[in-house]
Chain A
Amino acid sequence: MPARISRDDVAHVARLALLELTEDELERYTEQLGAVLDHATDVEALDLSDVEPLSHPLPVRNVFREDVPGEALDRQEVLGQAPAAEDGRFRVPAILGEEP
């Protein structure tokens, strides 16, 4: 069973999720997430080693679409909703770092 979530853990997941937290928020969220995870200890404690995980409620498989073009979106309409656009493309500030 994992140790209780720490401030560092919360700071780490906030980084992963691209969220910025103030010191106060960090404190509060550590407490609140801890409370929810404490509630989940009942689930952690169960021995489920021989239970198959159920990631989907339905036993559906092999759902395909045919390789046929559908309707495209209008570029003007889409770019009109963008915070910034230029030259038929979405504009963003400088991208630092390499492609993952």
Chain B
Amino acid sequence: MTQTGSVADGWETVIGLEVHAELATETKLFSGARNHFGAEPNTNIDPVSLGLPGSLPVLNRKAVELAIRVGLALHCEVRPSIFARKNYFYPDMPKDFQISQYDQPIDLGGWLELPSGKRVGVTRAHLEEDTGKNTHVGGSGRIGGAEYSLIDYNRAGVPLLEIVSEPDIRSADEAKAYVEELRAILVAIGASDGKMEEGSLRVDCNVSVRRPGAPFGTRCEIKNVNSLRSLGRAIEYETRRQIDLIEAGERIRQETRHWDENAGRTTAGRSKENSEDYRYFPEPDLVPVVPDPAWIEEIRAALPVLPADRRHRLAAAAGLEHTDQPVIVAVERGLDRLALDAIAAKADPGRVLTHVEHNLAVDGAEQLAGNTLAALVALETGGKLTATQAKAVLAELVELARGGTQGDPAAVAAAKGFEAMQDSALDDAIAAAVAASPAEWERFKAGDAKERGKLTGFFVGQIMKATRGKADGKAVTAKLNALADG
């Protein structure tokens, strides 16, 4: 896919995202029916989640707490809020209205920092209830051609937090980074499991294009974006479509469009005659939510350190920038605590982050203790283990950690036969190799950097063979050069 909407071809994409996150509660937003994905159809139901006549909603305290957590994590103001009814008929919505926070949301005005260091504004986050699920039967199985539909209300009433960003995002990649960062935050604070494939995280995007510096263009809202990949593709497609229209002299119509994953395009939604008149009014069956400041502070105090802060913290400890790749990767993998502990135990930060980035993309790596990793790095930097040997030892250490024990790197190395080569033994091996190939050695001694580079490989290979891999490549190279020049 070619990069579209970049400033390079004279256009800029403007993106705002609405992310619906299902909150990780035991029960639904307004009743004690279970919030549990994958149950048998219509088993997580009660009078409230079925919207039976006479049923009344009672707000789940945990859902409010999670909404406050998210608000605080996104630097929002947590405010007094009320629920409203959004009235429209749809068969998967049991009451034929949705209870949602409308003009008084719980979280207002925050921001989120992307790994790139860019801040994306968060307009608001508000609580609302999810709908049930329709299955279309007959025809093509798609909504248009179905003969009839079956409805499962297990999901109806599951708590959602709708998180609305400012139109601060400028590319498909940035949009994906935003969703990934938001997901990392939601998971870190226990607000949501963040599983896009199970619908726990759903994204609608508003896309428009403009000449850089010009006012915002007319936007289209794109729905049915079910994965990060779809998000990127949908934005790139929609950007191209809008640019093509404008360049053809046409106007963009503000509308809702549907992402068709198979066709790889967005299509205009059916225009609904009543869609604009939701007749919002305050939900009379619920009372205002006015969180006690003490409660908010209690929730704030219990928040874990968030991904952006973790990047800053690790970067500071490692002497890097928070936008550097190894730092981003360490936090993404949840291995920044390990790295910090290892660095605190005096391990070389560069070696630590190299291991985290390249050798620890495995389950259970987070169970490794910082001291263990530090001990391993110390063997390496002390010339007791080669990089290759260290990697093998590390894999073994992770296995042990997963089983609940922290191994001793030196003992593991020894067990693998990686006993440290004495310097004198290495010197002996080098001398033997040089003696065995006098012609090559003469060329090495006389050669420039390029020539030496070629021959280094030859000598290291010989020495490795002789030492059965126990020699450290870097140490050998250094010694060869020293010998030739000295």
What residues make up the interface of A, taking CB atoms closer than 8 Å to B? 15-16, 18, 55-56, 58, 60-73, 75, 78-79, 86-100
Quick check: A89 and B135 within 8 Å, CB to CB?
Answer: yes
Bound-state CA distance A85–B227 (Å) is 32
With A61-B288, A68-B26, A95-B136 known, 19 other A-B pairs at CB within 8 A are A55-B284, A62-B290, A65-B59, A65-B60, A69-B27, A69-B32, A70-B32, A70-B33, A86-B150, A89-B150, A89-B151, A89-B152, A90-B91, A90-B151, A91-B149, A93-B149, A95-B91, A96-B143, A99-B131
The chain B residue with its CB closest to the CB of A84 is B148
Kindly list chain A residues whose C-beta atoms are within 8 Å of the C-beta of B135. 89
Kindly list chain A residues whose C-beta atoms are within 8 Å of the C-beta of B59. 63-65
Quick check: B148 and A92 within 8 Å, CB to CB?
Answer: yes
Quick check: A65 and B274 within 8 Å, CB to CB?
Answer: no
B residues 16-38 touching A (CB-CB < 8 Å): 25-27, 31-34
Asked if B134 is at the interface of the complex by the 8 Å CB criterion, the answer is yes
Contact of A73 among B40, B45, B90, B288 (CB under 8 A): B45
Quick check: A15 and B41 within 8 Å, CB to CB?
Answer: no
Quick check: B143 and A95 within 8 Å, CB to CB?
Answer: yes
Quick check: B150 and A15 within 8 Å, CB to CB?
Answer: no
Mark B76-103 against chain A: 1 for CB-CB distance below 8 A, else 0. 0000000000001111100000000000
- Which stretch of B275-283, B308-316, B346-354, B413-421 is in the interface? B275-283
Quick check: A88 and B41 within 8 Å, CB to CB?
Answer: yes
Kindly list chain A residues whose C-beta atoms are within 8 Å of the C-beta of B481. none
Cross-chain pair count, CB within 8 angstroms: 142
Contact of A69 among B33, B61, B287 (CB under 8 A): B33
Asked if B44 is at the interface of the complex by the 8 Å CB criterion, the answer is yes
Quick check: A65 and B149 within 8 Å, CB to CB?
Answer: no
B224 → chain A closest CB, angstroms: 9
Instruction: Say what secondary structure dominates the interface of chain A.
Output: loop
Do A62 and B143 contact each other (CB < 8 Å), given the known contacts A72-B44, A97-B270? Answer: no
How many residues from B make CB contacts under 8 Å with A? 63
Quick check: A70 and B89 within 8 Å, CB to CB?
Answer: no
Kindly list chain B residues whose C-beta atoms are within 8 Å of the C-beta of A55. 281-282, 284
Quick check: A72 and B274 within 8 Å, CB to CB?
Answer: no
Kindly list chain A residues whose C-beta atoms are within 8 Å of the C-beta of B220. none
Bound-state CA distance A97–B258 (Å) is 12
Quick check: A64 and B45 within 8 Å, CB to CB?
Answer: no
Quick check: B34 and A95 within 8 Å, CB to CB?
Answer: no
Kindly list chain A residues whose C-beta atoms are within 8 Å of the C-beta of B341. none
Q: List 29 A-B contacts (CB under 8 A).
A: A15-B273, A15-B274, A18-B89, A56-B282, A61-B290, A62-B289, A63-B59, A63-B286, A64-B59, A64-B64, A65-B31, A65-B61, A69-B32, A69-B34, A70-B31, A88-B40, A89-B42, A90-B91, A91-B150, A93-B149, A94-B147, A95-B143, A95-B146, A96-B144, A97-B143, A98-B143, A98-B223, A98-B256, A99-B92
Quick check: B25 and A92 within 8 Å, CB to CB?
Answer: no
Asked if B63 is at the interface of the complex by the 8 Å CB criterion, the answer is yes
Contact of A72 among B46, B62, B291, B292 (CB under 8 A): B46
Kindly list chain A residues whose C-beta atoms are within 8 Å of the C-beta of B286. 63
